[in-house]
Structure 1
Amino acid sequence: MRDRKKSSTASSSLSIKSVEEKGTSSIETYRQPSEGDLSCAQQHTTTPLPPPSFAESEFHQIQKTQNTRQQNLLKWSSVPSRYPNLSNAWEFAGWGSTYYLEIEQSDLDLYQQEVAKKPTIGQWRATSIAGNDLIASVLYSVGPCVVQSGRYAPISMLLVAALMYPMKRIITEVATAMPLNGGTYNAMLNSTTKTTAAVAACFSILDYLATCVVSASTASAYLAAEVALPGTLTPFIVTIIILIGFSMICLLGLRESSTLTLAIFTLHAVTMSVVMVASIVMWGKQGSQTLVDNWTRVAPDPPAAELNPVLMIFKGLCIGLLGVTGFESAENYIEDLKPGTFPKVMNNMFGFLLAINAPMTLLVTVLVPVPVIQANAANAVSVLGEYAAGGGRWLRLWIMVDAVIVLCAGVLTGLIGATGLVQRMASDGILPKFFLIRNRFTGSYQYIVLVFLVLSITLYAITGGDTSSLSGVFAVAFLGSLSTFAVANIMIKYKRGRLPRLSRVSLLTAVCTLLVLLASLIGNIVIDPMIAEYFVIYFAVVLVVVLAMLKRCWLWELSYWLFDQMGLLHRYPRFSEKVEDFIVGQIKRIRKSPVVFFTKTDEPHVMNKAIQYIKKNEDAGQIKFIHLYQNASSIPENLEAHHRMLDEIYPKIQIDLMFIQSDFNPATVDAISRQLNISKAQMFMACPGKDFNYSLGDFGGLRIIMF
């Protein structure tokens, strides 16, 4: 038989009333709990209490209404340990306690002060960050599209734009329902399991990595094709210089980076406008003979594929989808946008896509013979500029300069997208916490940028400057990332249908869009089977690293079990003890961070489901159930009794119950997070209803538990 004693764990800055039931007597203790006190308390310090406040007196009344059990003696478990040679005492986390926490108004006011100081960006700066990658994609997508679909390329590009309209609405629904940095990772995290979300994040990580490297190397190739570089300044060196330079710009902070991206965005929009106007003028001068020739010319002995217009249009669609890169990036910095800006950003991006990609492809086929385009697929827009200028090179050189600049901005887009994603994953405990350290001068996540820079240069060096493999990875990762948005949209309809959002698409639209994206993904692999091989290699490396970080506690527990099985080593007690202490220390270090679940009900199946979700998705040895109330009569009468029952059911988890007299709002959650020193990413709540007055993004990372 074992006497149950309750332990208290909270921030040392809190004054907490803990009520202990022992037999039929009630002993009030007033203490400053020490951090990491997860074992059974061996003694209590009793000190005189000051006169109770009104709220504290009400809390005593709450305690009287709870159906607490009088029996506190627990039996030892008869289940044998799985470790015959080592101790399993460390698995017991300690008994939970019941607390009352009083929040001061000054704690609530800090939230408003922080919100007021947070810098935000408007719709055009936000559009330019992701939009640079989007509108630059026409420079390298028009040529390959014409190669695959020939004279049908404008139709393929128009179908791409048509597909992006429902995709725009799908992304907007997902982002406004869950307006947090992290893209599809965040959406999957709040609608599926953490492991599924981590797999989705791997697509995005590869997407951003390939975007940086391919954009930098393509920019250096454009430059080398038109300008004679010094012998020592090879395209390889230029690419590395571009990667380093734009990483340093990213370190200046998002707002400063957006100023540069807006300038580049404006330059590129002006350049594309000049090219299109010049092309239309030349079309009016020379007529449509080239267009007619392109449509009527038949190559001698054409392959069977060229005789099937539907197949050619589909292949052009598959390649043309790579011309919308950047469309998926805006959600990764949605927390930095002004309220209500995100839908405007998506509308702007779709408008530029509709106005540039398909019309530019049409103008290419109007002025340039298809064989010439196919022979110069890498710089088809530059060739168009020369034809539009009547053979002069001034417009072609202008396009070259613009291409180098805007493709460099694509590096910045990849870095900013990766920063938002990695910051979110580090907040959730998947990646190391040092990624959350900000530069004290600019506020940028300096270590994320620097590590991503090292990875980009390393991968570029490994390929020897040949980005064909990364281009294949880029194709699959981008289309995979778009597909996970459609999957996330379907999941939030099924599991998070009550969440408020600014727009909704039908389930049929989401499913049909997903099928088209998957067909395009498969089509790209069929066109170039080597894509699958390259992608599997890179994806496997990223996935292993991410899953190893996610499952590191389980890996240490597996190591502990394997060491226990090595009977020969246990003949040396001192060595065995040191190894045991080391592994146990690593496990406790990972499990020491508590998590919070805001409960409004005393239903045991709801509370138990929350515990089950946390056990499956988090490495936590302590759970704090927090109940916010306005008056004593609103407290569920069986909450304390069910809390104690669950605390006994899960001896490996210390389960505390905390009462706070306050409203459930972002300021309260922020105050609790600061005072308990628990990240908001480690706080959970049930899915709110349609009448909820706040957006999920207002809570700064608070997660919805899977109900």
Structure 2
Amino acid sequence: MCTPAVASDVVRLQPTESPVETPQVPPPFGQHQWDTILRRQRSRPKDGKGVKSSSLPSIFVNLSNIFEFAGWGTLDNLILSPEDLDHGKAGIQAVRRARLLGQFTASAIAGNAVLGSVFYALPAVVAISSVYAPISLFVACLSMFLWRPIMEELASALPINGAPYAYFNNVANKTAALICASILVLDFLSTAVVSAATATSYLSGEVSLPFPAWVGAVFILILFTLLSLTGVRESARLALAMLSFHILTMVVLMIAAAVHWAHTGNELLRENWNAGKASSSSGVARQIFNGVCLGVLGLTGFETTPSYVAKTKTNVFPLVLRNLHYPAIVLNVILMTSVLAIIHLPDITSGANILSLLADKVGGAWLRIWIVVDAMVVLCGGVLAGFVSSCQLFEQLAQDRILPQLYLKTMRVTSSPHISIFTCASFCALLYATAAADLSLLSKMFSFTFLCTMATFPLSLLLLKFRRRRLPRTPHTPLLLVFVTMAVSAVLIAGNIAIDPTTAGYFAPYFIGVFLIFSVTQNKARLLRFAFWFYDHHSSLHAWRFTKGWGARIIDILAAMKRQPVCILVKGDEIHVLSRMLIYADRNEVTSCVKIIHFTDDEKGVPSELEANAKILDEAFPQITIDLVIVYAPFNPINVVALAHRLNIPPSLMFMGCPGKDSPHKLEEFGTRIITS
């Protein structure tokens, strides 16, 4: 439809000239930019009611535009009540009180997994690298020096629980975060299965069990499922006590081995070396490299340390990594060398419990029993840690509305997340059964899963440097080190595949299965829309007895899912920033209601174009109701938590831009997600 030209835009012709039609020049943008906007906005209902419409026909044959188009947004001015502010203060105090873990208690939570890994790492490495096992373990432990500055910078920039899933959720999108969450689920549950299987293996190697070893592993998994249902939580003090007992046990074993070695000399070490050394330099390199690829089992547990960084005291995280790294080097290398110096090589590779065998050689039956008890205690602690970590991840995924809200429900008496616990137990049973209870295969897959998890850290830091470079943090890891770590991760993963391709073959279906489940739950609205489209275009389904009324049910389910609003916390009124944040919410969240939140005080006031731009975007996104909420309060964590209480919207569904180095507030206290640079 053409618009008539105004008089000032018509070029007048001289009488002597022929009447040539001149094209009309549109008026400058400044003359009519508000005319079009205001004309369209006048058609909106003033009370915000009514449904947006479009001249484009709906893709649904038998449904009105109400299904596809949301209502018009409104402008609200809000003042937080004293009750809201009290709730905000209580929430921030709870976050600050949670930072109670010192360097030793924080180290103990992951320390049982890291230092307890000697029970399954040493047999796996010596089986493949023979007498070069101490070298392989030493090189594998040294590789952690690449990851430590990367993990420290990430924890400094994003001191929030749930890493590395939380990192990708703040530096990328939900699809990337779901890939990371799928790997984490496999890592946590592999920890539980391998720990249970290793504990049973140690016990069956010492006493004659009246049942197969796999039955004992299943019994341990069932036992800890029941313990988890009773409400047992991971206690830092209990973990510290278990770790202290384990360290004492290992120190006694190393001292006894050193004394025995001093009395017997190096004759057996030379004999083992001559019997197990490779015939060529290429063979030596291959055995050492294969041992390094599996030697990372001695570092399993490091990937869990950032998942509870919000509970540690300030500047403690680097000390935690240090406290775990150096003992891991000492335990793995010294114990492996002592085994080769004291036990004959055929006995080492026979599949016996090499640490209990070492204890029997250097101390007798009493030390052997002590080692077995220590193995059972530490490894069972690994089973519980795997369950607890998985349940915490499921809870976070449910809060982000990736998993159903059923995962947030707890039992009345014990307050345990029973749905999450049963999910963990079922997956552990599936993992153990499909591996045919083969501990060697499970250990290899565990090593592969651990490496995939560790590979996410340099990748997330690279994305953080590129997309969230304004975040204040120390230290600043050189880009070269990030790329080197990514390359090392790729080489170690490829090495594990080369050692045994079935490892990746077992990992792939589990990863694809978990990721597909998460993808379905994340994209459930799109799948339901497709289901309704299919139902709508086949009239025969409308009359069939079993499918009659399905359309109304699908609409009700979709409406219920989209009823939960999300919030966008904005500082200014730049429309390109607002549109980017809205596009993120539209692509990553299931919602038809977005609230643009701006905190203001008497000094700064409201940005002049914020209301107009919000109305433009409300028209540009017909599938979303965009409300503008002006909160008359300063922008700080207390008021954000108070607003979440007032609007009944969890902070995990509130999004904000990246804070700069001059921000006076701590990021972890907001509890929100960063979605723009």
What SS is found at the alignment partner of 2:572? coil
The structural deviation recorded for 1:271 is: 0.8
- Give 2:293's aligned amino acid: C
The structural deviation recorded for 1:638 is: 0.6
Cα distance in 2 between the residues matched to 1:578 and 1:177: 51
Cα distance in 1 between the residues matched to 2:441 and 2:37: 64
- Give 2:87's aligned amino acid: L
- When residues 396 and 366 of structure 1 are mapped into structure 2, their CA distance, relative to the original with a 3 A threshold, is same
The farther-off stretch of 664-673 and 173-182 is 173-182
Aligned to 2:241: 263
What SS is found at the alignment partner of 1:659? strand
- Give 2:59's aligned amino acid: R
State whether structure 2 residue 38 is matched by structure 1 residue 69.
yes
Cα distance in 2 between the residues matched to 1:251 and 1:175: 31
**Structure 1 unaligned runs (5+)?**
1-66
State whether structure 2 residue 648 is matched by structure 1 residue 677.
yes
State whether structure 2 residue 488 is matched by structure 1 residue 516.
yes
The farther-off stretch of 645-654 and 660-669 is 660-669
Pairing 1:99-498 to 2, within 5 Å after superposition: 99-116=76-93, 120-229=100-209, 231=210, 234-250=212-228, 257-297=235-275, 307-376=282-351, 379-389=353-363, 392-438=364-410, 444-461=416-433, 465-467=437-439, 469-498=441-470
Of the three residues 614, 619, 622, the one matched with 1:651 is 622
CA RMSD of aligned residues (A): 2.6
What SS is found at the alignment partner of 2:235? helix
The structural deviation recorded for 1:252 is: 6.2
- Give 2:356's aligned amino acid: S
- Give 1:347's aligned amino acid: R
- When residues 471 and 562 of structure 1 are mapped into structure 2, their CA distance, relative to the original with a 3 A threshold, is farther
The 8 Å contact of residues 124 and 443 in structure 2, kept in 1 or not, is answered as no
Q: How many residues align?
A: 631
The farther-off stretch of 113-122 and 143-152 is 113-122
The 8 Å contact of residues 103 and 671 in structure 1, kept in 2 or not, is answered as yes
The farther-off stretch of 170-179 and 623-632 is 170-179
Cα distance in 2 between the residues matched to 1:294 and 1:504: 46
- Give 2:673's aligned amino acid: R
Deviation string, structure 1 residues 214-239 (Cα, Å, up to 9, x no partner)? 1112101211110123x3x5433432
Deviation string, structure 1 residues 119-141 (Cα, Å, up to 9, x no partner)? 54443333222111111111111
Deviation string, structure 1 residues 357-388 (Cα, Å, up to 9, x no partner)? 12222222232343432223x52222222333
The structural deviation recorded for 1:620 is: 1.2
What SS is found at the alignment partner of 1:626? strand
- Give 2:221's aligned amino acid: L
Deviation string, structure 1 residues 290-348 (Cα, Å, up to 9, x no partner)? 3333344467xx676x7532222211100101111111012223333344433332221
- Give 2:447's aligned amino acid: A
The 8 Å contact of residues 53 and 69 in structure 2, kept in 1 or not, is answered as no
- Give 2:272's aligned amino acid: N
What SS is found at the alignment partner of 1:657? strand
The structural deviation recorded for 1:566 is: 1.3
Aligned to 2:473: 501
Aligned to 2:5: none
The farther-off stretch of 453-462 and 422-431 is 453-462
The structural deviation recorded for 1:254 is: 7.2
The farther-off stretch of 446-455 and 95-104 is 446-455
Cα distance in 2 between the residues matched to 1:504 and 1:289: 49
The 8 Å contact of residues 99 and 659 in structure 1, kept in 2 or not, is answered as yes
**Structure 2 unaligned runs (5+)?**
1-35, 45-51
Of the three residues 626, 636, 639, the one matched with 1:668 is 639
Aligned to 1:27: none
The structural deviation recorded for 1:68 is: 8.6
The structural deviation recorded for 1:695 is: 2.8
Cα distance in 1 between the residues matched to 2:413 and 2:423: 19
Cα distance in 2 between the residues matched to 1:509 and 1:438: 44
> How many percent identity over aligned positions?
36
Cα distance in 2 between the residues matched to 1:488 and 1:649: 33
- When residues 129 and 612 of structure 1 are mapped into structure 2, their CA distance, relative to the original with a 3 A threshold, is same
Aligned to 1:540: 512
What SS is found at the alignment partner of 1:623? strand
The structural deviation recorded for 1:579 is: 2.2
The structural deviation recorded for 1:553 is: 0.6
The 8 Å contact of residues 144 and 374 in structure 1, kept in 2 or not, is answered as no
- Give 1:672's aligned amino acid: L
Cα distance in 2 between the residues matched to 1:422 and 1:346: 25
Cα distance in 2 between the residues matched to 1:219 and 1:148: 21
- Give 1:335's aligned amino acid: A
What SS is found at the alignment partner of 1:332? helix
Cα distance in 1 between the residues matched to 2:263 and 2:544: 93
What SS is found at the alignment partner of 1:69? helix
The 8 Å contact of residues 107 and 671 in structure 1, kept in 2 or not, is answered as yes
The 8 Å contact of residues 69 and 641 in structure 1, kept in 2 or not, is answered as no
What SS is found at the alignment partner of 2:137? helix
- When residues 303 and 88 of structure 1 are mapped into structure 2, their CA distance, relative to the original with a 3 A threshold, is farther
State whether structure 2 residue 71 is matched by structure 1 residue 94.
yes
Aligned to 2:24: none
- When residues 188 and 602 of structure 1 are mapped into structure 2, their CA distance, relative to the original with a 3 A threshold, is same
State whether structure 2 residue 525 is matched by structure 1 residue 550.
no
Cα distance in 2 between the residues matched to 1:416 and 1:341: 22
The 8 Å contact of residues 610 and 705 in structure 1, kept in 2 or not, is answered as yes
What SS is found at the alignment partner of 1:92? coil
The structural deviation recorded for 1:253 is: 5.9
Cα distance in 2 between the residues matched to 1:574 and 1:633: 63
Aligned to 2:19: none
- Give 1:178's aligned amino acid: L
The 8 Å contact of residues 595 and 623 in structure 1, kept in 2 or not, is answered as yes
The 8 Å contact of residues 92 and 669 in structure 2, kept in 1 or not, is answered as no
- Give 1:364's aligned amino acid: V
- Give 1:73's aligned amino acid: S
- When residues 575 and 236 of structure 1 are mapped into structure 2, their CA distance, relative to the original with a 3 A threshold, is closer
- Give 2:612's aligned amino acid: A
- When residues 277 and 679 of structure 1 are mapped into structure 2, their CA distance, relative to the original with a 3 A threshold, is same
The structural deviation recorded for 1:550 is: 0.8
Cα distance in 1 between the residues matched to 2:605 and 2:268: 78
- Give 1:683's aligned amino acid: M
Aligned to 1:82: 59
Aligned to 2:563: 592
- Give 2:137's aligned amino acid: M
Cα distance in 2 between the residues matched to 1:108 and 1:474: 47
What SS is found at the alignment partner of 2:549? helix
The structural deviation recorded for 1:542 is: 1.1
The 8 Å contact of residues 81 and 88 in structure 1, kept in 2 or not, is answered as yes
Aligned to 2:602: 631
The structural deviation recorded for 1:526 is: 0.9
- When residues 234 and 315 of structure 1 are mapped into structure 2, their CA distance, relative to the original with a 3 A threshold, is closer
- When residues 470 and 588 of structure 1 are mapped into structure 2, their CA distance, relative to the original with a 3 A threshold, is farther
Cα distance in 1 between the residues matched to 2:103 and 2:204: 35
- Give 1:167's aligned amino acid: W
Cα distance in 2 between the residues matched to 1:415 and 1:399: 24
The structural deviation recorded for 1:556 is: 0.2
Deviation string, structure 1 residues 648-667 (Cα, Å, up to 9, x no partner)? 11111000101112222211
What SS is found at the alignment partner of 2:630? strand
